[in-house]
Amino acid sequence: MNAHGTVHKYGDHVDTDVIIPARYLNTQSHQELASHCMEDIDKTFITKVKDGDIMVAGVNFGCGSSREHAPIAIKASGISCVIAKNFARIFYRNAINIGLAILECPAASEGIDDGDEVAVDFDTGVITNVTKNETYQAEPFPPFIKDMIAKGGLMASLKAKEARA
Amino acid sequence: MGMTMTQKILARHAGLESVRAGQLIQARLDLVLGNDITTPVAINEFEAAGFDRVFDKSRIALVMDHFAPNKDIKAATQCKQCRTFARKFDIDHYYDVGTMGIEHALLPEQGLVAPGEAVIGADSHTCTYGALGAFSTGVGSTDMGAAMAAGETWFKVPSAIRVNLTGKLRPYVSGKDVILTLIGMIGVDGARYQSLEFTGPGVAELSIYDRLTISNMAIEAGAKNGIFPVDDITRAYVAERVDRPWTAYEADPDAEYERTVEIDLSQVDCTVAYPHLPENAHPAREGKDIAIDQIVIGSCTNGQLPDMAAAAEILKGRHLAPGVRGIIIPATQSVYRECMHRGYTDIFLDAGCIVSTPTCGPCLGGYMGILAVGERCVSTTNRNFVGRMGHVDSEVYLASPAVAAASGIAGHIAHPEEI
């Protein structure tokens, strides 16, 4: 499993209200949510983003509301992976549960600039900045979470458990 | 190694003798909560996974509060989806218009949370119930959907920050000022992934409502939960509402805390969090230059009866400054009714405010008080992010009901003593 794309870079404390403003939470349509993704801090994001692109940010990404609509909107916009110094805990859980790849890597967050071309190897956790010819080592997922992702996310792993019982 | 209060509750619900920070556990849940925004997504996941039963219809609470009474056709459709699900599975605690209140005020009031219980809710402010000595935390919709089926979920056991409270609050100073002060000290990620464990002689000086407000905003410091010890104040509150057995857990004397934060309550003054993060704490006394357009008094943070009383005390016999709009939202039907009985509603109306049925509406920029470009609101809610209550170039200043009321009268941010 790998990702390769152009980076959209943001700062610290990107909250779920700017990822997907609450005024759009009256829909569950992934595409409609995606069409408003990031619009309160970056109106151009949705016009620029291409399938497979990568989002990079600072500390506490996804803080605020528990809305799962936030990782859903990011994933449906085409983003293949979010790299941040660290994530707010509910967002972290939600992203894993819905299958949005997220990596904690302070060095990558520091080194990568907006527009850089970046490749991610999820098996090794190695992040390669193709533009700058640099690599960064991300914290790989703990085995518990790797197992959940391998089974296809939370719901699939729960069904697998139920089938065994 | 001893355990914190949070760790003890988690150990018990995981069926383990002890747990340590960082350990991954599977824990039984006493209650699973959702609202009209998050439940539809949970239902979709629940149904897509092919579940045909809920783990316990008496341990699920669904509250239509965010965009209800329905703000538009889409919101109506989402509430209808929740209503249909609740009927299909005969959910005991389904609250719709007429019985609903703002979820985190409603559940404690209705006795649905007791000390020592473990609760998850698909709403980040589910951490409110730590005030009662319960473990409660916010999750997303998929977690909620899975928990409605399984009655359990996984947790990483949090490490802890001890918040040692001493002293006694001064007049006009409330739980809101304490939590805004704390977030100002440690930052919006100061307790990320951790539990905030409130201890010390100052706890006894805080009412259960002050504690509910403090625990409610633990998430604004990034915390997993914020928990208070169970004392006579807790017991008195719970005794009137809960008739099932419950357990009070105490932290071990040798429990491990990553650090201790000291707060002398007597040194806390009325505090306002300026845009656009709850950590931007400033003294209310220094806000004279910030003219405002609106005040909002309500929400899961400050919509309880003592919050209404604090606002009424300031607003009595006074009127909002010209050009200021006042929106007051009692958090539940019983708070709303009591506001009428005690004459608060007349005070609010005489002051030029409106009084709304319970809803989360304005707090998250849903409806009922959206801000236009350049407008400023002093709000008793919990978040002041960019665009939170409306236009991206509007501003939200977080404060207590007393400060919001005083600011509404002054027309700018004001300390109640200035009125």
For B305, phi then psi, to 5°, come to -55, -45
Q: Tell me whether residue A92 is exposed, middle or buried, using C-beta atoms within 10 angstroms of its C-beta: 0 to 12, 13 to 18, 19 or more.
A: buried
Helix (H, G, I), strand (E, B) or coil at B47: helix
Cβ contact B139–A90 (<8 Å): yes
Q: With cut-offs at 50, 70 and 90, classify the pLDDT of residue A145.
A: confident
B141 min Cα distance to partner chain A (Å): 6
Helix (H, G, I), strand (E, B) or coil at B161: strand
Q: Is the pLDDT of residue A163 over 80?
A: no
* Complex prediction ipTM: 0.94
B143 min Cα distance to partner chain A (Å): 7
**A43 vs B contacts (CB less than 8 Å):** none
Is any Cβ of chain A less than 8 angstroms from the Cβ of B239? no
Q: Measured between alpha carbons, how far is A91 from B183 in angstroms, rounded to an integer?
A: 20
Q: Is the pLDDT of residue A148 over 90?
A: no
- For A152, name the nearest residue in chain B, comparing CA atoms only: B49
Is any Cβ of chain B less than 8 angstroms from the Cβ of A17? yes
A68 min Cα distance to partner chain B (Å): 5
The amino acid at B264: D
Q: DSSP for B308-351?
A: HHHHHHHHTT--PPTT-EEEE--SSHHHHHHHHHTTHHHHHHHT
Q: Is the pLDDT of residue A165 over 70?
A: no
Is any Cβ of chain B less than 8 angstroms from the Cβ of A68? yes
The per-residue pLDDT for A157 is 79
The per-residue pLDDT for A162 is 72
Is any Cβ of chain B less than 8 angstroms from the Cβ of A80? no
Helix, strand and coil in chain A, % to nearest 5: 35, 20, 40
Helix (H) or strand (E) holding B259: strand B259-264
Cβ contact A60–B189 (<8 Å): yes
Cβ contact A17–B383 (<8 Å): yes
If contacts are CB pairs under 8 Å, which of residues 113-152 in chain B contact chain A?
A: 121-124, 126, 138-143, 145-146, 149-150
Q: With cut-offs at 50, 70 and 90, classify the pLDDT of residue A156.
A: confident
Question: Residue-wise pLDDT tens for chain B (419 aa)?
Answer: 899 999 999 999 999 999 999 999 999 999 999 999 999 999 999 999 999 999 999 999 999 999 999 999 999 999 999 999 999 999 999 999 999 999 999 999 999 999 999 999 999 999 999 999 999 999 999 999 999 999 999 999 999 999 999 999 999 999 999 999 999 999 999 999 999 999 999 999 999 999 999 999 999 999 999 999 999 999 999 999 999 999 999 999 999 999 999 999 999 999 999 999 999 999 999 999 999 999 999 999 999 999 999 999 999 999 999 999 999 999 999 999 999 999 999 999 999 999 999 999 999 999 999 999 999 999 999 999 999 999 999 999 999 999 999 999 999 999 999 99
Q: How many CA atoms lie within 13 A of A57 on its CB side?
A: 21
Cβ contact A144–B24 (<8 Å): yes
Residue ranges with strand state E in B50-181: 60-63, 93-95, 118-121, 135-138, 152-156, 160-166
Q: Measured between alpha carbons, how far is B88 from B99 in angstroms, rounded to an integer?
A: 19
pLDDT in tens, B111-142: 999 999 999 999 999 999 999 999 999 999 99
pLDDT in tens, B67-85: 999 999 999 999 999 999 9
Helix (H, G, I), strand (E, B) or coil at A4: strand
Helix (H, G, I), strand (E, B) or coil at A104: strand
Of B116, B106, B125, the C-alpha closest to B62 is B106
Q: Measured between alpha carbons, how far is B101 from B332 in angstroms, rounded to an integer?
A: 4
Of B188, B255, B194, B256, the C-alpha closest to B225 is B194
Q: Cα Rg for chain A, rounded, in angstroms?
A: 15
The per-residue pLDDT for A152 is 67
